[in-house]
Structure 1
Amino acid sequence: MNQAVLHYVYDPMCSWCWGFKKTWLQLVEALANDEVEINYHLGGLAPDSDQVMPEELQQTLQGIWRTIHAKLGTEFNFDFWTECQPQRSTYPACRACLIAREEGKEQEMLLAIQQAYYLQAKNPSLSSTLIELAEQVGLEGERFATQLTSQEINTKLMKEISVSRAMPIQGFPSLVLTVGGDVFPIAVDYNNWQKTHKQITQLINNK
């Protein structure tokens, strides 16, 4: 049987990825029984910038948070918008997940960033926040801080973003199944992991 791989394309500061978290983890648990390999891919939602996010964009994103809460029941802490200076930059958080991956802690880092951003009103665009979170998940703070601004990690991120964007994706989160040399975009259902699981297993069984 050909090895099936499900590629999860995400951004740690993507609010829809936060909304998808519970369903995604249920899907991952179900797929473990089907021997489907799971690969995480960083999508790179917003490039580096130290500029404060324009007020109009802040309002737009707050509207998206409200929509996700209304549709999915996902919790958000809106204090972020008054206690932090929002920046439209997710690449630092992406680099943090890439560094954590090399230590086998990508999923822990992703969750730490999401909880800091959406529940604790902390700003993951800032290196200081990311260093604090890295230490929380068991990474060595000074080494992490050095890596975060290294050319090596930035080059790896740029390559990964290129690979992610070459996949048949529609924004983040996106799911792509590869099996037997074929590539299938998988519809993201935010409420029903069983429906997604059925689609994946049918594609695998038809190979």
Structure 2
Amino acid sequence: MHAPRIFYIHDPMCSWCYAFSQSWAALQRDLPRNIEIVYLVGGLAPDTTEPMPPATQKMVQQAWQRIEQTVPGVHFNWDFWSRNTPIRSTYPACRAVLAAKKQRVDAELEMIRAIQSAYYQQAKNPSLPETLQACAHEIGLDVGTFIEDLKSPAIESELQRQMQQARSLDVYSYPSLRLVHNNAVFPVAIDYLDHRTMLDEIKKQALKTTA
């Protein structure tokens, strides 16, 4: 029988995933040791080189404002909007996370953090390959291998697999948490402010399904 698994479905360029970082870190710290954590990239926005339409820019900026108003300690570098031509494309950043993991398993989380830092703190654009290459260099990856992997069929196939798995867990927004145990799937409500509500829910469901 499988140990319980928590699937964390995210996108490295999702501002709400960034806002969830502290609560998620606290939850992972306190989770029972027998619960396995699995990351899935959900793929928020497909490949494009077109500039982000003004209406979409406004929508993303409103999300940033709402996060700053509701999640203590989370701030964005608003220079992003004046320094860059925003592009609504997160698949390249998702592939970067998968390419990092292919080189070194623990680089998956390092790449997520590097992309979030580049985007939200340094006002750089992770839709661009040069930003992703700089992130790879920063976390100590072989950049040449990373560039090759980024455009490889294997990484594209893994991206599609993870996105399909996210859909099979009935996930269409990010961040999302799913507890999978004894062939049952339980949605866990995201709490940006207090990880203990999620922890209690996970423990309750895990106990219930083993009973």
Fold conserved (TM > 0.5)? yes
Q: In the TM superposition, what is the alpha-carbon distance from 1:34 to its structure 2 partner?
A: 3.5
Aligned to 1:18: 18
Q: CA deviation at 1:181?
A: 1.7
**Counterpart in 2 of 1:194?**
196
Partner of 2:39: 40
CA RMSD of aligned residues (A): 1.2
Match for residue 151 of structure 1? 153
Q: Which amino acid aligns with 2:166?
A: S
Q: What's the % identity of the aligned pairs? A: 40
Q: Across the two proteins, how many residue pairs are aligned to each other?
A: 206
2:89 pairs with 1:89: yes
Which amino acid in structure 2 is aligned with residue 42 of structure 1? V
Instruction: Name the CA distance, whole Å, in 2 between partners of 1:3 and 1:147.
Output: 32
Gap runs ≥5 in structure 2:
none
Call closer, same or farther: CA 1:151–1:34 in 2, change over 3 Å: closer
- TM-score for both structures, normalised by structure 2: 0.94
Residue 141 of structure 1 aligns with an amino acid whose one-letter code is: V
Secondary structure of the equivalent of 1:177? strand
Segment drifting more, 3-12 vs 163-172: 163-172
Instruction: Give the equivalent residue in structure 2 for 1:110.
Output: 112
The AA in structure 2 aligned to 1:155 is: S
The one-character-per-residue Cα deviations of 1:67-121 (angstroms, maximum 9, x if unpaired) are 0110003110010000011000000000000111221110000000001101100
1:29 corresponds to: 29
User: Aligned residue for 1:175?
Assistant: 177
Which region of structure 1 is more displaced relative to structure 2, 158-167 or 91-100? Answer: 158-167
Cα deviation, residue 170, structure 1: 4.6
Residue type of the alignment partner of 1:63: Q
Matched residue type, 2:21: K
1:20-72 Cα deviation digits (max 9, x unpaired)? 000000000111x4421000000000000001111121111111100011000
The gaps in structure 1 that reach 5 residues or longer are none
Length-normalised TM-score, structure 1: 0.96
